A and B are shown apart, each in its own frame.
Chain A
Amino acid sequence: MEHALSPGARIGDRPRPAVNYLNASKGIMSWLGTVDHKRIGIMYLVGVLTAFLMGGCFALLIRLSLLTPTHMLFGKVLLTAEQYNRVFTLHGAIMVFLFIIPAIPASLGNFVLPLMLGAKDVAFPRLNLFSFYLWLTGAIMAIVAMVLGAVDTGWTFYTPYSTTTDGPVTLMILAVFILGFSSIFTGLNFIATVHKLRAPGMGWFDMPLFIWGIYATAVIQVMATPVLGITLVLLALERSFGIGIFDPKLGGDPVLFQHFFWFYSHPAVYIMILPGMAIISELIPTFSRKTMFGYRAMAYASVSLALVSFIVWGHHMFVAGQSQLATVVFSALTFLVAIPSGIKVFNWLGTMYQGNISFETPMLYAISFLILFAIGGLTGIFLGTLSTDVHLTDTYFVVAHFHYVMMGSTVIAFIGGLHYWWPKMTGRMYNENWGRIACGLVFIGFNMTFFTQFFLGSQGMPRRYYNYPDQFQHLHAVSTVGSWILGLGLFITLAYLLASLRKPMDAPDNPWGGTTMEWLTSSPPIEHNFEEQPVLEREPYDYRPVVASK
């Protein structure tokens, strides 16, 4: 291995144990009935990546169809308006509910969180398995809804459109309801785990920042998701039995639905981004071989982002008919988000300063994250500012902004984290050269796809549009070509990651010189994680030579 290990790294290389969590028991049933957090994490990983693949194919289809204003391709209409509406709804619903919300916490979080805490498992292993099956049930219901004819409501289910349109909307709503419970149980499990199962000597401020991020996420999952559940039940009742909650024809209020919906779905944005930030807080110190700058500020920033996320939902509704006073107050509160976000970016840069930085694939993704998150965050200012938001809201500017935050930040961090922990999860190193090439393609393709959309939006192109004026075609074409490059990069990633599974295990226990506890155990870990209970002796991210610290 040519990987450079830093002086402070704990090098746990020892003969690879013959029995690990992957081969400790065999057969499909040993997986389906497992309560091992690592196996559940792997099952989630397979599940969310499948969802990502599906949602991604829909995205490529949308972009291909938008290549021309009339959706003509080789003399044929690629998608009709109805099909287009269904495809973008499926893309949004799959990506949000099936992929990105569970992506980091349920797959990487499940695998890594107990290891980082030096614990044997999560606090409630059976609940963990149950939440996986809830996820699977919800996913199957969503797919059945797709097969039955698909819904065309947009992922936001705005009333009264969603209560009056055709299609299996109720089934889709129930699917999302069940997925919500999967998310709640995962959050509950992680909160209990962090409170009760930390290794001896590990106080709150000795926890890796990944744990802080996942913990803050879990708090949101537990507190916000029930509101979505209640809202969706009300929606299903209205649709099925005509109980008037949201439809004005039945005496309801459609704006009330938006309040309920965003009361969950804005915090949900932080369910998505906080775990992404949490991964970056691991990658940057590790590959800079330098202690995390401003550790406490980072921990507080994660928690304050989680709290602030509950009081800014109205910024989705500046032109939606909420009271004007509410609009002003929500705009003011929204700017609070910028402060902890800024603190995080500055601290990451502060960690790189005077570091000893190497550029393995995870670090390339971390740097991509810094740049893309900066764009995603800064363009949020245009949308939080009242006068400019009125023009930009409901246009492609918003589409570009949230893709920079969701895809450009969260998914990029997820892929970075996947590479970072891949050796730990599988016992194998992926091909570093292909990793760097794919990261470059993803970065270029992503920016081509979405940077153009800021200008489409500012020029006045509304979102969710099937036909569009000819003047927008140039930018749409660039965006579509970008989506091919992005897709190519992601398919290459899938290919070399899968290819790495064919070779014998070659990963050292601590390939990157990480300082957190998951690197103390073997790669892949044994069934019960550690041969003996690890004890915290040094704080995480302590890269001083071991001798000097004694």
Chain B
Amino acid sequence: MDWLRNWMMPPQGSAYAAEVDFTYMGLFWLCAVMFIGIAGAAAWFSWRYRFRPGRVTPHDTHNTKLEVIWTVLPLMLCIGIFFWGLNGWLKYAVAPGDAMEIQVTAKKWLWQFEYPDGTRTVNEIHVPAHKAVKFVMTSEDVIHDFFVPDMRVKHDIIPGRYTEVWFTPTVLGKHRFTCAEYCGKGHSDMHGDLSVDNDADYAKFLETGGTEWEQYKDHMDQWGKIQYERNGCSTCHSVDGSKSKGPSWKGIWHKMEELNNGTTVLVDEAYVRESMLYPQAKIVKGFEPIMPSFNNLLRDNQIKGLIAYIQSLQ
């Protein structure tokens, strides 16, 4: 009967999906049998006891034994089904402690994802196969819902709080995810692809930092501006010349900076890159050595973007 399940349910993307389907099909057959019983009885009685003039019907007001049976039996059946559903649901409800976390921000009408290493994507997720992945989700405006049919999971995303959903994908390839809580005009367009990658593909995905930057390939200064805001640079470096905890970036490109050891240095690509990765190496005169290292935190395209951004601030 696999064809029936395959027709009724989406492809299975995880072991959990197969388990949900097993419960679903169990209920399906149970309900099919009960339906045939009810409809069959109605049809048979309609035919067998169809109107005959003069037929006298028995005055059967009740039958306690029968009524107790059809009260208690369904009750026991229901208790059983409840625990069956609970058993499966507990796996959905509790994520393993070592699950990889992906932050999800939903808003009208797109999805933003952020990986543990800072990789960001929009409307696209890459996850390694056979590893538990947990989505920690919040909304910027109204209620949305993260629904991955192939994984048989969904959960609402609520503004002002965090909700979670998790799964362990096992089937490589693309799976659709989509919004399942009505959120207005673009509700049905709020979907994307979940790509379950093998380890090599996933590593490659992390190297390039997702797909978001591709739209900025030809505008690296804008890409740098986004990095400047996202990575906390703006806390200490102004872009309008005003003094802050660190030197302003305004007009700094190709300037000779005086350092606290009395020497000077030309602000070029090598120096800027060094300042991001090893900020204590050279300290500009008048500033304290307080900048944290961004070594391993910034990806190459982010650094290039930041440099392009600094270049643009003439």
Contacts and interface: CB of A to CB of B under 8 A. Distances in A.
B46 A385 contact: no
A375 interface: yes
A387 B19 contact: yes
B69 to A, nearest CB: 9
Contacts of A320: 156, 158
B186 interface: yes
A358 B178 CA distance: 51
Contact of A466 (B67, B86, B161, B188): B188
A248 B57 contact: no
A465 B188 contact: yes
A385 B85 contact: yes
Given A297-B67, A338-B78, A462 B141 contact: no
A347 B42 CA distance: 12
A349 B85 contact: no
B132 interface: no
B59 to A, nearest CB: 5
B155 A319 contact: yes
Contacts of B56: 7, 356, 545
Contacts of B142: 158, 160-161, 164
Contact of B145 (A319, A324, A336): A319
Contact of B45 (A152, A357, A462): A357
A331 B85 CA distance: 9
Query: Chain B: interface residue count, which band?
Result: 35 or more
B42 A370 contact: yes
Contacts of A464: 182, 187-188
Contact of B143 (A161, A295, A335, A336): A161
A384 B72 CA distance: 19
Given A342-B70, A349-B42, A465-B188, A387 B57 contact: no
B82 interface: yes
B188 A391 contact: no
B88 A387 contact: yes
A359 B74 CA distance: 30
Interface stretch (A14-22, A225-233, A452-460, A489-497): A452-460
A341 to B, nearest CB: 9
A499 B147 CA distance: 50
Contacts of B160: 248-249, 253-254
Contact of B38 (A164, A327, A345, A393): A345
B42 A354 contact: no
A321 B164 CA distance: 9
A393 B154 contact: yes
B230 interface: no
Contacts of A81: 185-186, 188
Contacts of B153: 390-391
- Interface size range on A against B: 35 or more
Interface in B153-170: 153-156, 158-161, 163
A542 interface: yes
Contact of B70 (A249, A291, A343, A466): A343
Interface in A363-405: 367, 370-371, 374-375, 378-379, 381-382, 384-391, 393-395
Interface in A303-318: none
A253 B92 CA distance: 24
A332 interface: yes
Contacts of B158: 248, 254-255, 320-321
B182 A158 contact: yes
A440 B12 CA distance: 39
Nearest to B149: A460
Interface in B222-242: none
Contact of A385 (B27, B67, B189): B27
A382 B42 CA distance: 24
A85 B70 contact: no
B57 A293 contact: no
B290 interface: no
A335 B85 CA distance: 12
Contacts of A296: 62
Nearest to B30: A381
Contacts of B181: 158, 394
A261 to B, nearest CB: 13
Interface in B68-127: 70-71, 74-75, 78-79, 81-82, 84-89, 92-93
Contacts of A358: 50-51
Nearest to A253: B160
A30 B184 CA distance: 47
Contact of A335 (B7, B49, B82, B184): B82
B53 A385 contact: no
Given A331-B86, A356-B52, A382-B24, A339 B188 contact: no
Contacts of A152: 184
B60 interface: yes
B8 interface: yes
A14 to B, nearest CB: 24
A371 B42 contact: yes
B35 interface: yes
B134 interface: no
Contact of B58 (A290, A292, A321, A382): A290
B182 A367 contact: no
A381 to B, nearest CB: 6
Contacts of B88: 386-388
Contacts of B8: 455, 458-459
Given A254-B143, A345-B38, A339 B74 contact: yes
Nearest to A6: B57
B172 interface: no
Contact of A391 (B78, B86, B152, B178): B152
A155 to B, nearest CB: 11
B9 interface: yes
A29 B10 CA distance: 60
A168 interface: no
Interface string B1-38: 00000011110000000011001100100110011001
7 contacts: A291-B61, A338-B78, A374-B34, A385-B84, A387-B89, A391-B20, A465-B187
Given A253-B160, A352-B41, A394-B147, 8 more contacts: A154-B182, A290-B58, A291-B59, A338-B74, A354-B49, A395-B180, A462-B180, A467-B189
Nearest 10 CB-CB pairings of A with B:
A248-B160, A387-B88, A460-B149, A385-B85, A386-B89, A335-B78, A290-B57, A358-B51, A465-B188, A394-B180
